[in-house]
Chain A
């Protein structure tokens, strides 16, 4: 039998392939971030529970704070300075979760609130601290080197070319002035879609399918999200010489992490199956709009948060047809 704690554990377990891929292709940064954000998230949760005089271990054992930390650690730039991750993780728990009354009562996805907050506050750090593929470095930084960078003891610049922008970002900015073939000649794109990123996304996809198999999540949100993103790209960005091509939308950046782990956060997502379809599709559409026409390189956080806003509305308009009723009831109860 599933319990809430067990569900959170499975979700965390299902992120491990993705974390492994991130570590293999981009170094220790994400792993350090995951551990760090998890500690901060759980620490903050414990502190607030204690202040609110709630049973600390009972609520910590539901694993939801840990999951928020893990997701942040996976989503944040791997070489982000420690204090920015700290702000992200602490505010995720404090602002997005506990201020709303704790697990189950939050309107917004906590991890994404934390992410969006630091993205707005530190746009520079959030775009430039992405680790470059290890394969492109002369010498891969070790665990201690990476720790030193994150702890801001060492300047990343001292290790040449270790940080940079993401392939999605690079493509978007370069494609205005150059052709697709010359843009992708940059080694960060590798031979396929985006060096390393394709494997990371495949790994998250695998973990996500595993969660569907366990019936911890349903297929509705990932399917409609990926479907809408694909459709939007085919409609508006079909020309790779003008905009980011579809395979890059799907397999570079945080797309699969979002599809299976972030958008599916049950608390802040729509509830009915039909509602989940709309919700996922909404995130897909918004994600494309912000990626293509906005000024942020990736937009998972904003797309998810905007759709969180829409959830009560979606829920009211997508109620299932109850057995024996001719039509589903719609709208707000009068």
Chain B
């Protein structure tokens, strides 16, 4: 491969990666309990399939999920389920969520795993369902269920599979250590994904500040046709859109997904877990997590079991709690402050930074924007951050949208370079939230109005119809009274006429009942069942009246 393509903007950051790369990946000890969240990614909660008191083996399924909706979760060790309870989970909102609490028995005994040396021979469907069953969700951070992502790519013809090993955020070295130590598993996983997708080429994007990982991957890819593309270290080269642009020169359409241009991105750690799932039947019960920051005595990477309380890992790495100023999950640019130190590790926990006050000094008081344009030069999405800021701040959300606010990937490059220390991304996040809220309210209002109008129109129509029928009946009666029976009525006889009238009356009642029911659905839900029954009754009467009329018709025409 020649020179990779380029993306606009971007910034060079102090990478702070060496601290955590001094030692190989460590295996932490078992904590006194685990709390495995039932939802660790975008999608639905998994349904618990164990109960408090159950004993479980390591790797046993704790909760299940349908394909397309979410992924199952598994026991990180053998032990006893002691509770299924709401707990603090690592989420910026600080909300609690359901977790399965397990107390280890110390034996760490595996459940039976489906070892499968010829995994490559398995049919596509089977491979996908095993990937799902292993609970694999994107390990890069956002965590989209992987089987769903692979299927979604299926229809759209993926030409290029890109493995994201850029890891462009400072501090994080989880992917780097995995590439350094387990390149073969990554490549094996890449080949599985590649063949599942029928991709023509597979590229691994990696920044040039990881020489050992590059070397390891180059050796492992030798002869596989997979290409290791080394890109210049520049944040945010690991952003999905930026990496695609770097490696293919193409841009993901602003209202589309990478599959629209025949590209699919996967994180290298996801590839590794896919290999483990198919080859050894191992579900995702651990991930590589970087523990770093100056408040730790022994920074490094650990193979952290999902559900381990974060405090346990930090203590093992020598946490000085007094020095801890900020605890960040993810990187310093796009990560978030953990609301609680007891929250558990989840599938997306790629990094925990225990930062001290001198690492993360308070940001200075923002000064006015001087329109220096540094933010614009840094923006990888070619937005105009200073204009977005202006609009966001003054609440001119329509203008912000018009300036493509929603294309902002919240990478924070603009805030980083702003000489006036304006927390730009916070303004964008706030504006996006406000706009979404507005949209939701608008939709709500639209729907209510539509419902009202439809109902109004229906009532009008029903009234008109009823009126028409009444007119017709009056007409008929008049005719009868005057003896001037119309032809049809004459031939059908009085019997038929009565039947018709009965039918019409019944229909009217049905209409009335239906209208009442509709109304009750909106205004008085408690009356709905009763009214439903009434409607049924009237409907039945109408049916029999119609039947009678039809029979009479038949007999009269015979």
Contacts and interface: CB of A to CB of B under 8 A. Distances in A.
Nearest to B391: A333
A272 B8 CA distance: 13
Given A104-B368, A324-B252, 10 more contacts: A1-B419, A3-B367, A62-B367, A266-B370, A266-B371, A272-B373, A322-B254, A324-B251, A324-B253, A333-B403
Nearest to A7: B419
B374 A323 contact: no
Interface in B239-261: 241, 245, 251-256
B251 A271 contact: no
Nearest to B382: A320
Contacts of A1: 419
A329 B256 CA distance: 18
Nearest to B386: A271
B370 A323 contact: no
A128 interface: no
Interface of B: 8, 241, 245, 251-256, 364-365, 367-374, 376-377, 380-384, 386-387, 398-399, 402-404, 407, 417, 419-421
A172 interface: no
User: Which of A218, A322, A326 has most B Cβ within 10 Å?
Assistant: A322
Nearest to B402: A333
A4 interface: yes
B384 A324 contact: no
A224 to B, nearest CB: 15
B254 A324 contact: yes
Contacts of B370: 4, 7, 64, 103-104, 266-267
Given A324-B241, A325-B407, A266 B372 contact: yes
Contacts of A325: 254, 404, 407
Contacts of A104: 368-371
Given A266-B372, A271-B371, A271-B386, A322 B417 contact: no
28 contacts: A1-B419, A2-B374, A2-B417, A3-B367, A6-B419, A62-B368, A104-B371, A105-B368, A218-B373, A266-B373, A269-B371, A271-B373, A272-B376, A319-B403, A320-B376, A320-B383, A322-B254, A322-B383, A322-B407, A323-B252, A323-B254, A323-B381, A324-B256, A324-B407, A325-B404, A326-B253, A329-B404, A333-B403
A215 B374 contact: yes
Residue picked from A58, A272, A276, most chain B C-beta under 10 Å: A272
A141 interface: no
A43 B369 CA distance: 22
A102 B254 contact: no
Interface of A: 1-7, 58, 62, 64, 102-105, 215-216, 218, 266-267, 269, 271-273, 276, 315, 319-326, 329, 333-334
Contacts of B403: 319, 329, 333
CB-based closest 8 A-B pairs: A324-B254, A333-B402, A104-B368, A266-B372, A4-B419, A323-B381, A2-B419, A320-B382
Given A266-B371, A266-B373, A322-B381, A58 B365 contact: yes
Most buried by B among A103, A273, A323: A323
Contact of B398 (A323, A329, A333): A333
Given A7-B372, A267-B371, A322 B420 contact: no
A322 B373 contact: no
Contacts of A329: 402-404
Nearest to A315: B387
Contacts of B254: 322-325
Contacts of A64: 370
A62 B420 CA distance: 9
Contacts of B376: 271-273, 320
Given A215-B374, A271-B376, A271-B387, A3 B399 contact: no
Contacts of B369: 104
